[in-house]
Amino acid sequence: MEHIYNEKKKGAPLFILLHGTGGTETDLVPLAELLNPEYNILGIRGSVQENGMNRYFKRHGEGQYDWEDLEFRGNELYEFILEKSKEYDFQLEDAVLVGFSNGSNIAIQMMLQHPSTFKKAALFAPLYPAEVEEKQDFSDVEVFLSLGKGDPIVPESESTRVINLFKERDADVTTAWVKGHNLTQEVALKAKNWLN
């Protein structure tokens, strides 16, 4: 998988950056620098193509996930991150998942598949349109969710579903609302306060 690794300091916590549809591994670097300039950075490019745009998993249409592909890609991405943690010598429990839109959605998938691995996530404009029956234990997980009012892609009911997905699993949830399907400077600063 195409990626960048930017080490600021050996042993520092790490941001795992997961872009939105059509993005690349460098899209969220400015956000990472704002959140905490001392964290190391692993930015990963989605390996699925949709009309020439990078994504992390296939879909049949807006909000219509290919669930089989999502499960496969979630495991594939997790294995890739695991491999890089050995190569670059970082601890997965020190990693913070940072995702926007499609990147947030694959982050949720990985967290559900590997509930004891990731302890922190900042997810912007997430959508996970399914009832998850398994009750993973997220009691030691902290998550920041940035959600959109009047989001043309994610209805407010679906934003609520994501909040509940984490709350029902006892995660420590912080929420912030923006207008539309956006990642604003204002909400980035709220995420920075949450993180630090």
* Catalytic-labelled residue, pool 19, 101, 104, 146: 101
**How many residues are there in the chain?**
196
> Catalytic site residue 101?
yes
State which amino acid sits at residue 142: E
* Catalytic-labelled residue, pool 27, 104, 159, 181: 181
* Catalytic-labelled residue, pool 19, 104, 146, 151: 151
> Catalytic site residue 60?
no
- What CA–CA distance (Å, rounded) separates 85 from 76? 14
Q: Which residues are catalytic?
A: 101, 151, 181
